[in-house]
Chains A and B, each alone.
Chain A
Amino acid sequence: MGRNLIEIKNLTKRFGDVTVVNNISLDIKENEFVTLLGPSGCGKTTTLRMIGGFEEPDEGQIFFEGKLLNPIPAYKRNINTVFQRYALFTHMNVFENIAFGLRIKKIPKNEIEKRVKRMLKLVDLEGFEERYVDSLSGGQQQRVAIARALVNEPKVLLLDEPLGALDLKLRKEMQIELLDMQRSVGITFIYVTHDQEEALTMSDTIVVMNNGVIQQVGTPEDIYNEPINRFVADFIGESNIIEAIMPEDCKVAFDNVVLDCVDKGFAPNEPVDIVIRPEDIRIVTNPDEGMIKGTVRSVVFKGVHYEMIIESDAGREYMVHRTIAFPVGSYVGMNVQPFDIQVMKRGDPL
Chain B
Amino acid sequence: MSKALKRIYMGIIYLFLYAPIIVLIVFSFNKSKSRGQWGGFTLDWYAELFQSRQIREALYFTLLIAVLSTIISTIVGTIAALGINNMGKFSRTVILNINNLPVLNPDIVTGVALMTLFTSLKVELGFVTMLISHIVFSIPYVILSVLPKLRQMNKHIAEAAMDLGATPSYALRKVIIPEIFPGIISGALMAFTLSIDDFVISFFTAGTSVTNLSILIYSMAKRGIKPTINALSTLMFVTVLILMLIINKKSGKGEEILL
For B162, give its contact among A75, A86, A89 (CB under 8 Å).
A75
Does B156 lie within 8 Å of A83, measured CB to CB? Answer: yes
Interface size on A, residues (CB 8 A): 27
Q: Of all chain A residues, which has the CB nearest B177?
A: A91
A74 at the interface (CB under 8 A from B): yes
- Known contacts A85-B154, A86-B154, A87-B154, A104 near B160 by CB under 8 Å: no
For B165, give its contact among A75, A84, A88 (CB under 8 Å).
A75
Q: Of all chain B residues, which has the CB nearest A92?
A: B178
Question: How many inter-chain residue pairs (CB < 8 Å) link A and B?
Answer: 66
Q: Of all chain B residues, which has the CB nearest A90?
A: B179
B236 at the interface (CB under 8 A from A): no
Residues of A24-79 at the interface with B, using a CB-CB cut-off of 8 Å, are 52-54, 73-76, 79
Min CB gap B153→A, angstroms: 8
B109 at the interface (CB under 8 A from A): no
For B156, give its contact among A80, A85, A100, A152 (CB under 8 Å).
A85
Does A148 lie within 8 Å of B156, measured CB to CB? Answer: no
Using Cβ atoms and an 8 Å threshold, which residues of chain A touch B159?
A: 52, 54, 74, 81, 83, 87
Q: Of all chain B residues, which has the CB nearest A145?
A: B160
A109 at the interface (CB under 8 A from B): no
Residues of A94-125 at the interface with B, using a CB-CB cut-off of 8 Å, are 100-101, 104-105
Cα of A48 to Cα of B168 in the assembled complex, Å? 20
Min CB gap A316→B, angstroms: 47
- Known contacts A90-B179, A104-B166, A81 near B154 by CB under 8 Å: no
Does B163 lie within 8 Å of A74, measured CB to CB? Answer: yes
Does B164 lie within 8 Å of A80, measured CB to CB? Answer: yes
Cα of A81 to Cα of B178 in the assembled complex, Å? 22
Using Cβ atoms and an 8 Å threshold, which residues of chain B touch A100?
A: 161, 164, 166
CB within 8 Å of A: which residues of B? 154, 156-157, 159-168, 170, 175, 178-179, 181
CB within 8 Å of B: which residues of A? 52-54, 73-76, 79-81, 83-92, 100-101, 104-105, 148-149, 152
Smallest CB-CB A-B distances: 6 pairs: A101-B164, A87-B156, A87-B160, A104-B165, A83-B156, A91-B178
List 7 contacting pairs A-B, 8 Å CB cutoff, sorted by A: A83-B160, A83-B163, A85-B156, A87-B160, A89-B160, A90-B179, A149-B164
A81-B163, A91-B178 given. 15 additional CB < 8 A pairs? A52-B159, A52-B163, A54-B163, A74-B162, A75-B165, A80-B164, A83-B156, A83-B159, A85-B154, A87-B154, A88-B160, A91-B181, A104-B164, A148-B160, A149-B163
